Structure formats: structure tokens, C-alpha cells
Amino acid sequence: MKQVKCVVDKDFYVGTAGTELFSSFIEHLGRAVYNGIYEPGHPEADSRGFRKDVIQCIKEMSIGLIRYPGGNFLSNYDWKDGIGPKDKRPVRLDLAWKSIETNEFGIDEFADWTKECGAGIMGAVNLGTGNPKDAAELVEYCNHPSGTYWSDMRIANGHKDPHNIKVWCLGNEMDGPWQIGQMTSDDYGKKARETAKIMRLVDPSIKLVACGSSTTRIPTYPEWDRTVLEHLYEYADYLSLHRYYENEGNDDDFLASFYDMDSFIKTIAGTVGYVKAKTRSKKQVFLSFDEWNIWYMQNQTDHPWQKAPELLEDNYSLLDSLVFGGLVCTLLNNCDMVKMACLAQLINVIAPVMTKPGGGIFKQTTYYPFVQAAECAGGKVLKTFVNSPEKETPMYGAVPGVQSSLVYQEEKGVITLFALNSFNNDSAEFSVDLRSFGNVEFLSHSEMSGGDLHAKNSFAEPQKVLPREAKTMPVVDSAGKISVVFQPLSWNTVKFRVK
């Protein structure tokens, strides 16, 4: 059995895990919108076409913000196509995903839907084919109370109260050659700066997210981020990061994805620090990891010029959920800089929730680590010093075999330990000293593990892979030292109460 030691003190913490850290993403892509969240005529649909079973699942996830409308879709999208009477909205070619976009669903429908889900909105403006004026008019439509052309049009379209979208992305992945309207870092920095200025003239209270590197594997990383920030440091509040992971043939590398994500975050945080020092700024730009997930990109297929084709509908396994849990720990442990993070995406497309047109719904294996972590929103992520045995990986070298995070919800008096044991054949005894909290009692220990790493949930077997109560009980001694045993290849959520 591997021995892992953790030192922690209740007065020392990384930061607070705000609700925005547990955000998500909806793009006009595949069946995310149509036959996903919006399916008129479905037995579970309300009068607006919103599937109530989907809304219930989203409510259970306690999502902070939902990013909309893209994604690659954004860079050739005219938001004005999606407002007004539905029978007068134009049908367009979506060039990003080679689909037919009917525009039945737009910003007004999305605002109504997010209210039903109890989530806020992270809006996005088109900086591919769009321009600063388009962006300012969208902010006016969404946020200005009344008495102007665009605000009065919103009211005429049935929304008297403003949508009050307070976080906006300045484009999407503008560093990527796949992006419609790709720019150099200098060109993007100049365009985004002027867009930020005019958007803030409409609503000075909004927060803005500048496009950072869309992956660690793009040649311009991290020079792109430096140049963009030098143009935008005084205008942007956040810099975005995007990164997806997949099993490229070695399970150990895949399980160590958390190590790559952590390195990415620290590199970009260092770049932010450099530009802050260079510009002698007194403000702090934070990070928005507004696209992250597991995505099997080699499984992509084309369905040219269809409405809502079945695109990117990955079915996640137990192994995927373990990797996912490790990534969740990394986001928590970097919450001093990463203030927002969007699981991409939410419904059907590389998503935790899957629906069948006209039929049922099921929760993927990755749904559960997300929900468990989101329950800790508002808690303090404790600064931990962990001594874990390492394991060798072909891609990353030696990495910790156990990835963990500790969150203290002071108002509830609850401490939650999240841990991924990535050792293939060895259990891990995790020992942590909680004496600084006083008298602590064990509440629960759930785990996701099992012999079949490729087991998946499905419409036929929706509960094949679930968190289960652990068979071994933690040992809590009178001095406040706690020892918990984690099974090989397992995701663990352990809760304690401070008496």
C-alpha cells in the first residue's frame, strides 16, 4: 500500500472556490441546443420547448455561469439573426460545424432557459466576422433598461427586464487556424481593445474575458498570451485558457492529465504576472478556464449541412471519470488565479448529460465528480503540502500518484477531501492532520472504482457507473489525525464535520 501524507492548517488557504468555478458551456453545435435543451413537442417540453428533464439535471449540477453561444460557432454568428418572431428569422449555413442553423433559439430564449436552470450567463461577442459596433449593440440589447433602439427592441420581443449579462468573452480562440477570422496576436489585441472600450461605454459594470491560448499545443503558446495582454491588460478582467484531454494510447499519461493542466495554468499565470510588472499595473487580471473537458477528437465525423447532426457525442467511461476528477482537483487548487471554469460542453456534445430525441436522458460518468465538487462552492480551498509517491509516465515523467484537494465550508462546518488514486495496482493510505480544526468526525466516503475501466452509462444502463459508499472506514485518532484508504484507480470524495 502506498503512503501519502498531507499537512494542512485551517488558517492557510489558496482561495475561495466561487460558484463561477463550476460553470459550463452551450454552443450551437450538434445536438447541444436543438434536440438537447430545446425540443418542442417532446413529452417533457414546456410551452417554450425547453425540456424539463434536462433543466432538472442542470439544476442538480449547481452551475454558476453558462457560456453562450460559442465556441467556433461564434466567429461567424450574427446575434441579430436569433431575435424577433421565429418565423421571420433567417436560416443560415453554420460554417464552423457545417450545419444548418435555423436561429429558432437565440439570446432571449437562452436567457429564459438559464433562469429556469438557476444559472447566470457568460456572453460572447463575435470578433471573427463581427466588429466592435455589433458587440456594443448586443450589450445594449441585453443590458440597457429601455429608451434606446436596441433596448426597446428587446422589450418589444417580450423581455421588459434587461438580461443583465455581466461577463463577456471577447471572441473565441482567435489564435487558432481553424477559427473563422483568425488573427495575429497584435491584430486581435488591437481589435479586442477597441471592442472592450465601446462595450464598456454601453455598460461600465461588465467584466471582460480576453482570448488566451486555445491549447498548449499551438505554436504561438504562450507568446500569444503575452502580446494580447500587453494590448489589453487595463481593459480585460480575465484571460481565457482552453484545453481538452483524451486517451492517446497510454492510460498512465491520460491519468496524469491533471499534471499538464496544472503546468498550463502556472505558465499563463506567470505570463500575467510578467505583463502586470512590465506595464506597472495595479490591477490583477485573473484566469478563466472557459473550455475544459475530455474530448476524443479522433472520433469526429462530418455530417454536412444538417440541422442538429449527431456531433462529438462521446460516451464517457469509468476511466474518463477518474481523469475528470483529477482535473477538478487542479482547478480547485489554482482557484487563487482561476476564478471561472466552464466544462465544455453541457448537453449531448462532449457532455455530462445525454438526451434521446423524443426519449429519455442519462447522466454520464463525468457528471458525478462535477456535482460533488460544485457542492463545495463558496468553500475555502486549503493550502496543502502533500507527499505522494510518484509514478512514471511516458509523456510527463514522474508525477504524483495521488492528486488531491481539500475544501473547507466554514458555514456548514464541513471539510471535503477529493482524491484521485492513479496507481494501477496499489491502494493508497492518505493521512492528513486536521488538529487545527478542533474536534472532527467522519461523515461519508464515496468512491468511483471497479475492475472494468471501460464501463459506461447508457440509456439502457443509466446507473452502471455511480459513486458508491466505500467499504473501508477512515481511522480518526484522538489527536485529529485521519487516515483514509483509496482503492487502486479510484476517485474519492470524503467528508468530515467540524464539531
What tens digit of pLDDT does each residue of 271-283 get?
A: 999 999 999 999 9
Mean pLDDT rounded to a whole number for the chain: 96
**292, 242, 306: which is closest to 30 by C-alpha?**
306
**82, 214, 187, 201: which is closest to 128 by C-alpha?**
187
Number of domains in the chain: 2
Cα angle for residues 228, 220, 235 (degrees, 5° grid): 10
**Beta strands at 286-294 and 338-343: parallel, antiparallel or unpaired:** parallel
Domain CATH number, residue 207: 3.20.20.80
Q: Does residue 80 sit in the same domain as residue 228?
A: yes
Cell of 219: 505554436
Choice among 140, 291, 375, 447 that is catalytic:
291
Q: Does residue 351 sit in the same domain as residue 400?
A: no
Cell of 471: 467499504
Residue 300 has pLDDT above 80, yes or no: no
Residue 263 has pLDDT above 70, yes or no: yes
Would residue 27 show up in a list of annotated catalytic residues for this protein? no
Cell of 368: 458525478
The pLDDT of 184-207, averaged and rounded, is 98
Residue 340 confidence class, pLDDT cut points 50, 70, 90: very high
Cell of 483: 487516515
pLDDT at 305: 94
Cell of 63: 452551475
Would residue 109 show up in a list of annotated catalytic residues for this protein? no
Q: Does residue 81 sit in the same domain as residue 105?
A: yes
Rounded to whole angstroms, how far apart are CA atoms 252 and 322?
12
Q: Does residue 369 sit in the same domain as residue 386?
A: no
Q: By three-state DSSP, how is residue 246 classified?
A: coil
Rounded to whole angstroms, how far apart are CA atoms 430 and 418?
11
Helix then strand count (H, E) for the chain reads 10, 26
* 241 φ/ψ angles, rounded to the nearest 5 degrees: -130, 140
Residue 422 has pLDDT above 70, yes or no: yes
Q: Which of 375, 390, 412 is the last residue of a domain?
A: 375
Q: By three-state DSSP, how is residue 403 classified?
A: strand
Domain hosting residue 393, numbered range: 2-10+382-498
Residue 214 has pLDDT above 70, yes or no: yes
Domain CATH number, residue 468: 2.60.40.1180
pLDDT at 476: 79
* 430 φ/ψ angles, rounded to the nearest 5 degrees: -100, 115
Residue 304 confidence class, pLDDT cut points 50, 70, 90: confident
**400, 369, 370: which is closest to 385 by C-alpha?**
400
Q: Which of 342, 375, 408 is the last residue of a domain?
A: 375
Q: Does residue 120 sit in the same domain as residue 239?
A: yes
Q: How far is CA 406 from CA 285, 434, 435, in A?
A: 25, 11, 15
Residue 299 confidence class, pLDDT cut points 50, 70, 90: low
Cell of 465: 457507473
- Burial environment of residue 327 by CB neighbours within 10 A (0 to 12, 13 to 18, 19 or more): buried
pLDDT at 308: 95
pLDDT in tens, 104-123: 999 999 999 999 999 999 99
Q: Does residue 315 sit in the same domain as residue 464?
A: no
Q: Which of 326, 350, 375 is the last residue of a domain?
A: 375
* Lowest pLDDT segment from 50-64, 221-235, 437-451: 437-451
pLDDT at 499: 86
Q: Does residue 237 sit in the same domain as residue 281?
A: yes
Q: Residue 269 belongs to what H/E stretch?
A: helix 257-279
Q: Does residue 156 sit in the same domain as residue 172?
A: yes
Q: Does residue 369 sit in the same domain as residue 454?
A: no
The pLDDT of 494-499, averaged and rounded, is 94
> Exposure string (b/e) for 203-219, b if CB count within 10 Å is 16 or more?
beebbbbbbbbbebeee
Q: Does residue 327 sit in the same domain as residue 225?
A: yes
Residue 481 confidence class, pLDDT cut points 50, 70, 90: confident
**Beta strands at 440-448 and 490-498: parallel, antiparallel or unpaired:** antiparallel
Q: Does residue 260 sit in the same domain as residue 404?
A: no
**204, 203, 205, 225: which is closest to 215 by C-alpha?**
225
DSSP letters, 340-393, are EEEES-SBSSS-SEEE-TTS-EEE-TTHHHHHHHHTTTT-EEE--EEE--EEEE
Cell of 326: 483529477
Q: Does residue 286 sit in the same domain as residue 407?
A: no
**Beta strands at 23-25 and 338-343: parallel, antiparallel or unpaired:** parallel
Q: What percent of the chain has pLDDT over 90?
A: 95
The pLDDT of 76-88, averaged and rounded, is 98
Choice among 101, 109, 137, 173 that is catalytic:
173
Rounded to whole angstroms, how far apart are CA atoms 200 and 196?
6
- In sequence order, the 6+-apart residues with CB closer than 8 A to the CB of 438 are 480, 498, 499
What does R_g of the chain's alpha carbons equal in angstroms? Answer: 23
Asked if residues 274 and 247 have their Cβ atoms less than 8 Å apart, the reply is no
